Amino acid sequence: MLDNMPHLCLSSDHLRFILFIFHELGVHGVPSLKAFRKKQDEIVKICGINTDAKRTSFSHVFYQN
């Protein structure tokens, strides 16, 4: 969830550190970064937000979610 907020962009290094901390705290089932990114891609395919390009009568382009 942390990495799926558009206004909060986390780098792979940030996520790797967060996953490392979870692992060190003894959290069970902490995925690897590769597994985490793979699951993210699966979730986006299932329930991602589609952005559509629209054109006004004055030929201005805008995008709608």
Looking at residue 11, its pLDDT comes to 86
Could you tell me the residue ranges of all domains in the chain? 12-64
Looking at residue 7, its pLDDT comes to 62
Query: What's the pTM?
Result: 0.61
Residue 11's SS3 state is coil
**Beta strands 61-64 and 52-55, pairing class:** antiparallel
Diameter over CA atoms, the chain: 58
Over residues 13-65, the pLDDT tens digits come to: 999 999 999 999 999 999 999 999 899 889 888 887 788 899 999 999 999 88
